[in-house]
Amino acid sequence: MTSPSTKSAWWTDTTARSRFRRSLLKWFDRHQRQLPWRQQKSPYRIWVSEIMLQQTQVATVINYFERFIKRFPNVRALAAAELQEVLKYWEGLGYYRRARQLHAAARMVVDQHGGRFPQTFDEVIALPGIGRYTAGAILSIAQDQRYPILEGNTERVFARLIQLGDDPKSKPGQHKLWELADKLVSRHRPGDVNQALMEIGSQLCHVNHPDCGECPVRRFCESFQSGRANELPRRSVAKTKYESVREAAIIIRRGDRVVLRHCQPGQRWADLWDFPRFAVPTSGHGQFLCKRVRQLTGLSVRLGPPVKQIRHAVTRFRITLDCYHATDVRGRLNNGSPDGIQWTRLNELGQRPLNVTGRKIANWILSQ
Ligand code: SF4
């Protein structure tokens, strides 16, 4: 196996790197997808798109991006908005920490940089939610600064280009790949070089069965030359162990109002809203749940059998969520409790940022 520091490797040669970039850019100019964040070289738009694209597919992001930019067209508009509204526009995209950090960073850009997106790497990476990859992507794509990038797609392309022997996620693997990324990006069109490499990763260099026949850089690719493209990159063998859990959500309704819980910092779905929800023991749910409802809300209720079941996943947990309708609701709600419990009118459910299961339950209630 070779590494980026091996003397005979092609990427150590300036002329070979220029040829590589020429082939790459020629292909990119013809085949790049028309994506909404590519229409203008605005740091704000590139930043929002890069944050949305973390952990999320392009096809899902497009609609969210367009709605978000329409409502928050620039950093000042985002900074001036309430977090609850920003979360509402993020609802369903998941990984809500990204939205909280984007909002906090927008306020920093306004407070500390006069509303102008910073232009140095150190200033950009100091913003919440921005790491080495995102800083490099924004500065290279929006401002033509020569910074490399390394993310899921380019990791795979680079590992195959050099037949990386290490696990790409390992420290030595990451070191070699960043070194290669740094060599391949140029002063001329650095953002396009980075985007072209990502585009090859997503459009041709698939995890399984890469489309090497169409790849503009196959003559530089050691895995293609050796027929090992499908075997690489080496994948870590550690498999996620999933755990099944059972939870219950309680619909407590009086007339046109239902009880919602504002998820607190440090809890799952912090700052979003959900229905009162509890982990349940393996047996004896009924009495246990009534007691938990009383502790949380101050209300005494009766519960019949579940009216709805939702299965979903959160990190390594596979959750079966049984939804119960509370009847015979008595007492006064612990309004203003630290658990953020509140009566909410049904016609306000649409404006509240809810987690995914909360939204499903709300839609179910409204459809009854
Ligand atoms: Fe990936 Fe094949 Fe292109 Fe190599 S030749 S970068 S393996 S698509």
Q: Tell me, letter by letter, the H, E, C secondary structure of 197-265.
A: HHHHHHHCCCCCCCCHHHCCCHHHCHHHHHCCCCCCCCCCCCCCCCEEEEEEEEECEECCEEEEEECCC
Ligand 1: which residue has its CA nearest to atom 1?
A: 205
Task: Calculate the average pLDDT of the chain.
Answer: 93
pLDDT at 126 over 80: yes
Predicted TM-score (pTM) of the model is: 0.89
252 Cβ inside 6 Å of ligand 1: no
Q: Is the CB of 229 under 6 A from ligand 1?
A: yes
- Of 282, 218, 288, the C-alpha closest to 250 is 288
Among 50, 155, 199, 222, the active-site one is 50
224 lines ligand 1 (CB under 6 A): yes
Query: How many angstroms does the Cα of residue 46 sit away from the middle of ligand 1?
Result: 26
- Provide CB contacts within 8 A for 47, sequence distance 6+: 102, 117, 130, 134, 138, 142
CA distance 61 to 68: 10
Q: Are 309 and 300 in contact (CB under 8 A)?
A: no
| Contact indicator for 149, 134 with CB cutoff of 8 Å | no
- With the C-alpha atoms ordered 296, 300, 305, 306, is the resulting torsion angle positive or negative? negative
pLDDT in tens, 186-213: 999 999 999 999 999 999 999 999 999 9
The answer to which of 7-21, 30-44, 180-194 has the lowest mean pLDDT is 7-21
3-state SS assignment for residue 143: helix
**Ligand 1 pocket, 159 CB below 6 A?**
no
Could you tell me which of 282, 277, 320, 311 has the C-alpha nearest to residue 296? 277
The Cα–Cα gap between 153 and 170 comes to 16
How sure is the predictor about 2, in pLDDT bands with cuts at 50, 70 and 90?
very low
What phi and psi values does residue 270 have, to the nearest 5 degrees? -50, 135
Q: Give 81's DSSP letter.
A: S
For the stretch 158-176, pLDDT in tens is 999 999 999 999 999 999 9
Helix segments in the chain, DSSP class H? 14-31, 43-53, 58-71, 75-80, 83-90, 97-113, 121-125, 132-143, 152-161, 171-184, 190-203, 222-226, 285-297, 356-367
Protein residue with its CA nearest to atom 2 in ligand 1 = 212
Instruction: Give the Cβ contact number of residue 12 at 10 Å.
Output: 13
> Is the CB of residue 157 below 6 angstroms from any atom belonging to ligand 1?
yes
- The pLDDT, as a whole number, for residue 215 is 98
- Positive or negative, the Cα torsion across 21, 23, 26, 29? negative
Query: Amino acid identity of 328?
Result: D
- Residue nearest (by alpha carbon) to ligand 1 atom 6: 157
Is residue 151 part of the annotated active site? The answer reads no
Which of 164, 208, 212 maximizes ligand 1 atoms within 8 Å of its Cβ, making it the mutation to test the pocket? 212
A 10 A CB-CB count for 85 gives 15
Q: Is 162 in the pocket of ligand 1 (CB under 6 A)?
A: no
